[in-house]
Structure 1
Amino acid sequence: MDTTLTDPIVGHVLDGRYRVESRIARGGMASVYLALDVRLDRTVAVKVMHHTLAEDPQFVRRFIGEARSVASLSHPNVVQVFDQGTDGKHVYLSMEYVPGRTLRDVLRKRGRLPAREALEIVIPVLAALGAAHQAGLVHRDVKPENVLLTDDGRVKVVDFGLARAVEATNQTKTGIMIGTIGYMSPEQVTAGVADSRSDVYAVGIMLFELLTGRQPYEGDTPMSVAYRHVHDSVPVPSAVVGDIAPQLDALVAAATDRDPARRPSDATAMLVAAVEVHRVLPKTPKAGQHAAPVPVSGATMPAQPYSTGQYLAPGHHTPAPANHTMIQPRTDLLTAPPDGPRRGVLKRRSTWFIAGLALLMVAGVALTGWWFSQGRYTKVPDLLNQNITVAKHAAEQQGFIVTVGKARFDDRVEKDMVLESDPVAGTEVDKGARITLIPSAGPETVPVPKVQGLSEADAREAIGKAGLNVGRVSKTASDTVARGLIVKTSPDVGKRVRKNSTVNLVVSAGLLMPDVTQMLRDQAEQFLREKGFNVQIDETADDTPPGTVIAQDPAGGSETVAGANVRLTVSRGPDQGFHWPWENNGDQQANLIDVPDVRFKAVQDAQNELKAAGFKVKTRNLVGTQRVVGEQPLGQQPAGSTIMIWH
C-alpha cells in the first residue's frame, strides 16, 4: 500500500527541518519514517510517537528527559539520537538511519546460530548496554527486535529509554508491567522495577534463543510466560541442543538467575565473562552447527526496525505477538498458575461489574452537580518542571490563555522547564483565564576572569568578585612568567561555569635550571643556549662515553634567572688501558646494532621505535614538551642496552 495515501505525515516537513519520505515501520507506541534532514542534508530515521502518548504531558516530559540522556550516550554500538522535538501534535525523535535488518529477521531466516557467531553478536550488545549502565541508563526492553545488524556487519542497539518514558504515561499506573514478556526479568514482572541486572537477564534470554533457536518459555498467553519467568529457572541451552559448550551453559545460567543479586552486576561484568567464553571456544564449528555467516548485506530497513508493539490499556487481554513491548496489568499473575481454575476469574468479573455499576452511579451524581453549577470554574493544572513549550501547549488545550514570562536563573530546575506558574497549581479560576508561566534559565553561569600575570592574592580577589571560588593551587616551572604570578586557570579564561563553582590556579615557580646530566655535550649545549643560558665547558677523564655531561653547576631543578651562567663538566673518556665491557667479547661485539636517531620525534613514537629496535628506554622531562630534545647514546650499542631520551 502506498503510505503517502494512508499516512498524513509522509510528505510533511516536521519542525521545518525533517522532510518525511516514507514510513518504514509501525509499532504500538511509534511509527518510524525515512526522512531527509534538510538543514544538514543527511538521511535520518524519525520516530514519531502515536497520538495517544503524545497527548499525555507526563509522557512528553519524561520522553524529552530520556531523549537528552540517550543523545549524550555516544557509543559505536548504540543507534545515535540526533534531535528531539514537537511539531503540533507530533512528538518525534531524530536518529541515525541504519540500513540493515534486525536480529529477529536473522533468527527467522537462520534459526539457531553457531556458538561463536552468537557470542559475536551478544558481545557488542553488552558493550552498548555497558556504556549505558555506566551513564546511569537502563534499556528495560532488550530483545532481538531492538538489535540491528547493519549492511557492513556492525551491531547496534536501539530504543534506549523509551520503556522508561512510557512508565510516565497516564496509562501505566500502579499494577502495570512494561516490557517484552519473553525477555522480562522476574523483578520486572512482580514489582515493575528494572535496573542494569534486568538488562543482563534479557541478554541471557536472547543468548539462549540464539543458541537454541527458541525462547526458553512458551505459553498460550503472555501471562503464562510471565508466570514461568517468576517461578521457573531458565534451562541451560544444552538441555535443548546437545552440542552446547559448558561455558555457554554457565554464562546463560548466571545471567538468567531469578535472584538479581546472583547475576552479573551490569552488562560490563557480563561482557568480561562473554569475551572469556568466546576466547576459549573452538574456532571451527562443531558437527551439526550452521557455519554460514549472518546474512546482513543488501538488506533494507527491517519491517519493524524499532518495533514497539503494546497492549494499550489495562483490561485488554487479547494476546499479542510475544516479542512486542507490552503494557499489561500485573494483577492475578502470581496468585495461581495461569492454567488453573476459571471460577475465581468469573467471580471477579461479576464483582468488577457491580463495582463498575456503582462507579457509574457516583459519576452520574457528580455530573449532575457539575451541570447545575454551570461548570464555570476549573483548576490551574500542575505544570511545574515540564518543558515550557509542552506545558504551554497542554494548558492551551485545556482552554487557558497562556503568557510566558521572563526566564529566571535556578540551580535546581533545568533550563526551559517551568519554574513557577501564576496563579499556582490547584487554584480555582474561571474557564479561559490567563495564566503566566515562568521558565527556568537554568543555573546562573559566569565567565572565568582573566588572572594570568596577577599575584595569587589579586587572582583570588578577581575570582571572588566574579562569583567564583578558588580551588586547588599548584605550581609549575616557567621561563616566561615571573615566580609567584598566575600562569593559567582551569577551567580556561572566558569559559562560562556555574556561579559559586571552583577555579583551579597554576602559579609560576619561576625559572628552574634544566637537568642535562647524561646528555651528550652538543645536545646539552644547544638546548641551554636556546633557553638563553651562557654555557661554559670543562672536560675531565671519566669511565662514561666521551662527550657525556657528567655534572653541571647550578644543579638541575635549582632556581635561576634568564641569562645565567651554567658550567658543564663533560667526559673526555676513560684513561688508557680501560676497555668497554663488550670490546673483549666477540659475540657481544658482533651483537652491536644501530641506535635509531629519534630526536625531535613525538615521545611515544620515539619510545616505540627504540623498543622495536631492541633497546630499553628511559625518559627525563626537561621542558614538559612531548617532543624529544636529546638522546644518549647514539651510534651503535649492544642489543638490550638502555637509551635515555629527554623531552
Structure 2
Amino acid sequence: MDTTPTDPLVGRLLDGRYRVESRIARGGMATVYLALDVRLDRTVAVKVMHRGLAEDPAFVRRFIGEAKSVASLSHPNVVQVFDQGTDGDVVYLSMEYVPGRTLRDVLRDRGRLPAREALEVMIPVLAALGAAHQAGLVHRDVKPENVLLADDGRVKVVDFGLARAVEATNQTRTGVMIGTIGYMSPEQVTSGAADARSDVYAAGIMLFELLTGRQPYEGETPMSIAYRHVHDTVPVPSALLPGSPPLLDTLVAQATARDPATRPADAKALLVAAVDAHRMLPRESGPIPSAPVPPLPLPSGPLSPPYGVAAHPAPVNPTLIQPRAEVLTGPAAGGAAAVPEPRGGRKRGSWVLLTVLALVMVAAVGVTGWLFSRETTVVVPSLVEQNVTLAAGEARQKGFAVEIGPAEHDEKVPKDVVLRTVPAAGAEVKPGSRLTLIASAGPKRVNVPNVVGLELNAAREKIAAAGLTVDDVKKQASETVPRGQVMRTSPAVGNRVKEGSKVDLYVSAGLLMPDVMGMHRDQARTVLESAGFVPEFVEQTDSAQPCTVIAQDPRAGAEVDKGAVARMTLSACNNGEWHWPWENNGENANEDDNVIVIPNVVYKDVRAARDELSAAGFRVKVKKGLNRGRVLAQLPPGGQQVPQGTQVTLWH
C-alpha cells in the first residue's frame, strides 16, 4: 500500500463524509485511496479522477451517468459502487474496499497458471461481465489490472464504465484510443466501436495470458501491437505451451475471433463454454469444495507442469464451481490395503458384509453430494417494456419479493413501463429474493421560466437553473422596454419543453437612432421628438439643400436610451428659401418641362405612398427612420411643383 505522506488528499475529509487514510494505488486515469466513511463507519475505497479528466465537463457528465448505471449492477463478482460526488476540484467514486491483490500481481509472481486454476479465475470474471452485458453495460477495458483477488478467495471485477466516461473527453477527439492496447479488439482499433463482443475478445486474450504467462502480441510500439490485433489471428495457447488442453485452445480461438460476428454473443455465452470446459478437464488433485474455505496462499515459486502430480492450489473462487461426487478407494483414498481372497465362509461372509456397507456409504455420499450441488437459484425474468403493474404481478407469481423503485424519466419509454430491474434480467438469485422494478416517468419536461424584464445575465442564470440553455440572444428596438432587458423568449414563457432544450432571448436594444440624413429640419425635429429624442440643430454653410440634415450624432442605427440628445448638423437655411436642381439662378423651370405637383404622402403606409408616387411619374427612394411602416417625412415636401421624374425620398 502506498502511504506517501506528501499526497495532499491524505488526511482530508472529502465531501464532509470520507476521511482519506492512505493512498493504495495510482493508475492512468485515477488514484485509489483507503478511506473511512464517517457517516456509516465503514472502510471504503475512494477512486479520485486525475485533474485533467475532472476539469473536462463532458467527462464529468458521462462519469456521473456511468456511475449511476454501475451502482445499479448488483453482482457478487463486481466491485460495488456506493456513491459518487465532487468536492471542489475533486471528482470521486466511493466503492467497496476489497483487500487483496490484482490478477496482474499474481501473474507477475507466478508467470502462468495451470489450466483448471486459470478457468477458476476466468469463470467469476465472465459471470461479472455477463451480468453487466445483460444490464446493457460494456466494460471496454478488461485486463488483469481490473481483476481483484480478495484475501478470502473472492474474484471481483472493477472499473466498469470508466473507459466509456473517458470517451466523452477531449482526448478521444484527438485520436486517442480508449482501452489497453494488448487487450483491444480489432473493431476498437479500427473504429473505436465497442460492445459486449469486445469484452469477450479481451477476456479471451486474458485467458491466453493466464495459460501462457504472456500476451499473444508483442511489439516495439503500441501501434505495431494494434496492427497485429487487426490483421493477425491470435495463436492458440498450445502453440506456446505444448500439452495445453485442446478444449482451451478452442475456447481462446472462439473468444478472439477477428470477426465479432463469429465470437460468443456476450460474456454469458462464453461463461457457459468455460464452465463446460472446466468440467471436462481432468482433475489435478482432490475435488473442489462447494462451500467457502480459508484460501491457501498462492505459491510464489515456479509452476509445476500443467498436468503433473503436484498438489493443486485452492481455487480462487471456491464458491463458484460445484463439485462432482467422487469415490476414492484403495490406498490413494487413505483406505485399508487390498484384502486377499478369504479361504473360509466366515471370512467370505464378512467380506460380503463389508462390500454392502461400502455400497451403502457410496450411495449416501452420492445423494448428499447431489443435495448440496443441485440448483438452488432462479433466473430473473425479463420484464423490461412491460407495464409496471403487470410486471410486478408476474414477478410475484414467480416467487420474488417485488419492490417498485423511484421512477426515472426517459425520452423514449412511455410512463409506467419498466425501464430496468435490479438485479437485471438473466441474473441468478436465490428464490424469494427482492426484485426492484424501475419504471419510466415518461419524458421529462420543464417550464420555460418567466425572465421578461430581467437583465441578460440574470435571465441566463434563471434559464440555467430551470435545466435549459440559452441558444441565441437577439436584440430588438423598443420604445417602451429599457435597453438590456429581456422582452420575450422563444419558446414562449410557460411552455413545457424537454430538459436541456435551447431557448432564444429577445433583448431590448432600446431606441435605435433613425436615419434623418437629407431630411428637412422641421421634419427631422418632428421625427426625433416623436421617438423620444431631444434634437439639437447646428447650421453651417453648405451647398446642399437649405435646412436639410447633413450630419447626425449618434449615427443612424445606434442603440440609445429614451430622452437622449440627438445632435443634427444642417445646411444653411437661407431664410427658409428652397433651391432645387432644376432651378437656374432663381428662375422658374422652362415651360417645356412637364411640371407637376408632388402629392403629400406623410403618415401614409410606406408601400401605398411609394406606389402613389411611382404612378405619378416620380422616382422614389425609401429610407428607414423609426421603421414604423408609415411615412414620417418626405423630400421634396408635398405641394411643390417639380418636373416629372424627380426623385422623392421617403422616411418611415
* Bigger radius of gyration among the two: 2
* Range into which the TM-score falls when normalised by the shorter chain: 0.3 to 0.5
